[in-house]
Amino acid sequence: MNRTKTLARAILATTLCAGLSTSALAAAGDPIKIGLMLPFSGIYAQLGEAGRDGLKLALKEKASELHGSPIEFVELDTEAKPSRAPELASSLLNQHEADFVIGPVHSGVAMGMIKMLRGKDTIMIIPNAGSAAATGPLCSPNIFRTSFSSWQPSYPMGKIALEKGYKKVYAISWNYGMGQESLDAFEESFTAGGGEIVKKVLLPFPSTNFQPNVSDIADQNPDAVFTFFAGGGAIKFVKDFDAMGLRGKIPLMGSGFLTEGTLTAQGDAAEGVMTGLHYAEQLDIPKNHEFREAFNTEYGHYPDIYAVQGYDAGQAITNTVNLLKGDISDKQAVISTMEGLTIDSPRGAFTFSKAHNPIQNIYLREVKDGVNVVQSIAAEALEDPARGCKL
């Protein structure tokens, strides 16, 4: 980890076994080259490291299913900067001839990667970025996603709000892709069922000057608030909401990243917050228990959702290689095999849609005693509408 940070702008190539392939995709016995484009420095470094660690755990666990093909890693630090994405993706494609490219975390970086990799002889697997375009208008046979679309965690929450009797909701987020798409998804299901968005606020990213808006929420007195914020923004918003005395008076709902990885910093202010997401640490699924203990044994701490998504990207690779008996030289065979996979994920098993996005459960979670406790399945086997995708 430290070595990677030190070489923040450099290429770190780790060859587990010697040898280089000369074909676009490796034949049986050739090294399988996996390029990682993740943030290993900057504000999203922890997310990138978690995804990388999850990926490597899956490849280690299933090494016997690779039919003798060694793995070669090439790790590039995106720094979560969209401007770097085309250059780095081009390097993995043309210089390193990667069989698989895993990344990124940030949706803006994803757009730059897709620009270079779409339709090429390399399989791109997105382990986090939720941009709708990736499996929508910019979908491609060689692009898969093992995480979520921004639509998936938020769409079911509109129906949940209606079931709880909320008729008037105040919606607020940042004015960028994930924020806009999350609010739109909630509004789609909420208004279709008769709900009313009394006010929709999009703040400049990454502003955390929430005080005027929290005061406005108090004045509007809606039935509930729906939001997308993540990281430091999520911590600040939840604490400001509580400090205004709104917790316990106006229900706070959101996409799951509002309380994912933020609960320790949010403290009691997060109690009662309801969110939708495709994972919860407490999921009582045998695969989740097994994965969490294996990750803790390997790395000395328990995994988060980003590690789960990286782990599943690794499973997508190993399962495909195994079914093809180690020969991934036929690009169409790789794509067709991956399309037919069922991934035994810690979140619960999922398959890929025609647009190559996970068809997966979305869980309703509520913060109780500092934990995201699963209340129910908010939407079972939810498939993103993939609007604009021609696959």
Cβ(194)–Cβ(162) below 8 Å: yes
Helix intervals (H) in 169-209 = 177-192
| Cβ-count burial 313-329 (b if 16+ within 10 Å, e if not) | bbbbbbbbbeebebbbb
pLDDT of the residue at 347 = 98
- State whether 106 and 37 are in the same domain: yes
User: pTM of the prediction?
Assistant: 0.90
* pLDDT tens for the 391 residues of the chain, in order: 333 333 333 344 443 333 333 345 677 778 999 999 999 998 788 889 999 999 999 999 999 999 999 999 999 999 989 999 999 999 999 999 999 999 999 888 999 999 999 999 999 999 999 999 999 999 999 999 999 999 999 999 999 999 999 999 999 999 988 899 999 999 999 999 999 999 999 999 889 999 999 999 999 999 999 999 988 899 999 999 999 999 999 999 999 999 998 999 999 999 999 999 999 999 999 999 999 999 999 999 999 999 999 999 999 999 999 999 999 999 999 999 999 999 999 999 999 999 999 999 999 999 999 999 999 999 999 999 999 999 9
- Using omega within 30 degrees of 0 as the cis cutoff, is the peptide bond preceding 70 cis? no
Return the DSSP state at 79.
Answer: T
- State whether 236 and 303 are in the same domain: no
| Cβ-count burial 214-244 (b if 16+ within 10 Å, e if not) | beebeeeebbbbbbbbbbebbbbbbbbbbeb
Cβ(121)–Cβ(155) below 8 Å: no
What is the DSSP pairing of strand 342-343 with strand 196-203?
unpaired
- The answer to whether residue 180 sits within a structural domain is yes
pLDDT of the residue at 288 = 98
What is the distance between the alpha carbons of residues 127 and 342, in angstroms, rounded to a whole number? 16
- State whether 135 and 42 are in the same domain: yes
Strand 100-102's sheet: what is its strand order?
12-15, 71-77, 32-38, 100-102, 123-126, 143-145
Cβ(282)–Cβ(374) below 8 Å: yes
Amino acid at 133: A
What is the distance between the alpha carbons of residues 229 and 39, in angstroms, rounded to a whole number? 19
User: Which residues form the domain of 331?
Assistant: 32-148+282-360
- The answer to whether residue 369 sits within a structural domain is no
Last residue of a domain, one of 262, 277, 292: 277
Last residue of a domain, one of 247, 277, 307: 277
pLDDT of the residue at 388 = 97
pLDDT digits (tens, 9 = 90+) for 116-151: 999 999 999 999 999 999 999 999 999 999 999 999
Residue 27, burial from CB neighbour count under 10 angstroms (0-12, 13-18, 19+)? middle
- State whether 330 and 246 are in the same domain: no
pLDDT digits (tens, 9 = 90+) for 211-241: 999 999 999 999 999 999 988 899 999 999 9
Query: Total domain count for the chain?
Result: 2
- State whether 142 and 288 are in the same domain: yes
- The answer to whether residue 386 sits within a structural domain is no
Amino acid at 162: L
pLDDT of the residue at 134 = 97
**Residue linked to tokens 């390097």:** 91
What is the distance between the alpha carbons of residues 126 and 130, in angstroms, rounded to a whole number? 9
